[in-house]
Amino acid sequence: MVVATIRYKEQHRTHRIGWLRAAVLGANDGIVSTASLVVGVAAAHAPRGSVLVAGIAGLVAGAMSMAAGEYVSVSSQSDTERADLARERKELDGDDEGEHKELAAIYVGRGLDPFLAKQVAKQLMSYDALAAHARDELGISSNFSARPVQAALASAATFALGAALPIFIAFIFSETKLIPIVFGATLVFLAGLGTLAAIAGGAPIVRSAIRVTFWGALAMGLTAAVGAIFGKIV
């Protein structure tokens, strides 16, 4: 029996979802939170040294927080996936015929006629029964499976990289120009991040850039206002 190998030329981006989400989230949080912190402290008329210390402290704390948060969150997802797969494996061992019917019913619900659905279920389960049920019953696939360490490292690294940008701007410019330059440079950084994320994920570039710059500007504006108000009170 000769099995033909079919090669697909289409290139999709769903395999990037896991690390891309963590990387974009980390970089965006790094830029926005650190820039907002720098602008807020500067608006309170703190000395330039205090602004830099606050920014660096925010970088370290934020990167560790992102890593820990991503690891815990994605680990919980991974634990749930493993528990579901273990249960499915047990069901396959105990009721193979019932699992065939269950998978066939899923395909009928998606539009196949009952006879063809049974044939598809039979062939897929003869190849890899657990993978078939994981994908079509549980919605678990290799493209979307949880990877805690990858998510944690991507978030921490990209947060630190994003946070370093407004800190660098604060380092090279004087106090009198600090707030407007950090504000403007941060919007440029965010627009660039949105553009890169859109290119990597195949999304609309303009919409992605506008989305991240809007929320970044709002965060910095509110933080600057709080800094200015409490800088006069404290």
Q: What is the pLDDT of residues 63-84, one digit of tens each?
A: 999 889 888 888 887 788 778 7
Query: What average pLDDT does range 116-125 have in this prediction?
Result: 82
Query: What average pLDDT does range 92-111 have in this prediction?
Result: 80
Per-residue model confidence as pLDDT tens digits over 190-212: 998 888 878 876 778 888 889 88
In this prediction, residue 144 has a pLDDT band, given cuts at 50, 70 and 90, of low
Instruction: List all residues 6 or more positions away from 194 whose beta carbon is below 8 Å from its beta carbon.
Output: 205, 208, 209, 210, 211, 212, 213
Per-residue model confidence as pLDDT tens digits over 12-23: 444 445 556 667
**Domain residue ranges in the chain:** 16-90+148-233
Q: Which two tokens stand for residue 137?
A: 């019953």
Please tell me the predicted confidence (pLDDT) of residue 3. 46
Please tell me the predicted confidence (pLDDT) of residue 15. 46
In this prediction, residue 114 has a pLDDT band, given cuts at 50, 70 and 90, of confident
- When the pLDDT of each residue in the chain is averaged and rounded to a whole number, the result is 81
Q: Which two tokens stand for residue 215?
A: 């929320």
